[in-house]
Amino acid sequence: MMGILFAGCNKEIEPDRGVAQKITGIWITAETDGKALPSNEKIVFDIVSPTEAYVSLSIQDRTAEDTPWRDREEVDVEIDGNDVILSHSPKPGMTVAVDLHIESITDATLIAKRTVTIRQDGGLVRSTENMVRYEKLKVDYRNAICGMWEGMSTGSEGSEFDDGENHRWEYLLDGTFNYFRKVNGQWLISDDDYADYFVAGNLLCTRWKNAGVGNEEHREWWEIESIDNGVMKWMALRQREDGTTYTATFQMSKVN
């Protein structure tokens, strides 16, 4: 980790004041290596001070033993010159260090060479490196999403789990949600073993598992475009198996 290497030098590098002043805020990954990032790969860092931050992410990789679900997990921050090092321990014995070597930072965007190093019980698991662009979010919809909403897909290509009909979602303060479909004129709640969500800035992450033997967990990610005057709009950049992308959209209204 670059921060550790610097710490071992005789001359300590002073924090860049411009970086320290501008780094606080809610940042979401927008691009990696010049390509727009699909919504289900985005990560949010809420950096509240030059020493404290929180990370939120939901990653589903069926080849991995761990499918992270991190709702504002605490992260340590270190600023060394133009390097911002974000480190945390997601599970016993594991450390994840994200070193952002900042090339440019404004009140709206951050461009950095990112090195992610994962260690388990002191041994190196993997280290990856790429260029990344973050966008600074001016909104946080964690509270505004709570309540009952009714709506449907508005795009030509909808959600993987969408049937094109009106549905209802009830987002509760405890981080769970209820999903309803209309059957013979009546709103029926889905029978789920669990249905969880969190919102980080504008990123809405959900996971659920329908009740019954053999059912698997599903996850879906959306970016909340706006919540205004009782109307909520979602969008998401999706990637097909062939690598091409499309934008899915949803719109719903608040139900009193």
Can you give the residue ranges of every domain in the chain? 8-137, 147-255
In this predicted structure, what is the pLDDT of residue 158?
Answer: 60
Element (H, E) at 63: none
Q: What is the DSSP letter of 41?
A: G
Mean pLDDT is highest, among 90-99, 141-150, 235-244, for: 141-150
Q: How confident is the model at residue 17 (pLDDT cuts 50, 70, 90)?
A: low
Distance from chain centroid for Cα 124: 25
> Do 8-137 and 147-255 agree at the fold level?
yes
Q: What is the mean pLDDT of the chain?
A: 90
Q: Which is more confident, 62 or 191?
A: 191
Reported residue count of the chain is: 256
What is the CATH superfamily name and number for domain 147-255?
A: Calycin beta-barrel core domain (2.40.128.20)
Beta bridge pairs of residue 58: 69
Strands 147-153, 245-255: pairing is antiparallel
89-142 pLDDT tens trace: 988 999 999 999 999 999 999 999 999 999 999 999 999 999 999 999 999 999
CA distance 20 to 77: 11
Q: How confident is the model at residue 256 (pLDDT cuts 50, 70, 90)?
A: confident
**Cα–Cα distances in Å, from 215 out to 177, 180, 189, 209?**
18, 18, 17, 7
CA distance 33 to 108: 19
Report the Cα–Cα distance between both ends of the chain, in Å, rounded: 51
CA distance 164 to 162: 6
**Beta carbons of 189 and 180 less than 8 angstroms apart:** yes
* Rg, the chain, Cα only: 20
27-36 pLDDT tens trace: 999 999 999 9
In this predicted structure, what is the pLDDT of residue 162?
Answer: 76
One-letter amino acid identity for 47?
I
Enter the tokens of residue 174. 């405890």
In this predicted structure, what is the pLDDT of residue 88?
Answer: 93
Mean pLDDT is highest, among 40-49, 52-61, 65-74, 238-247, for: 40-49
CATH T-level assignment (fold) for domain 8-137: Lipocalin (2.40.128)
Which whole number is the average pLDDT over 139-151? 97
**Beta carbons of 151 and 145 less than 8 angstroms apart:** no
176-231 pLDDT tens trace: 999 999 999 999 999 999 999 999 999 999 999 999 999 999 999 999 999 999 99
Query: Of 177, 178, 156, 182, which Cα lies nearest the Cα of 167?
Result: 182
Give me the residue label for tokens 């320290």: 20
Q: Determine phi and psi for 39, rounding to 5 degrees.
A: -60, -35
Percent of the chain surpassing pLDDT 70: 89
Q: Which is more confident, 240 or 178?
A: 178
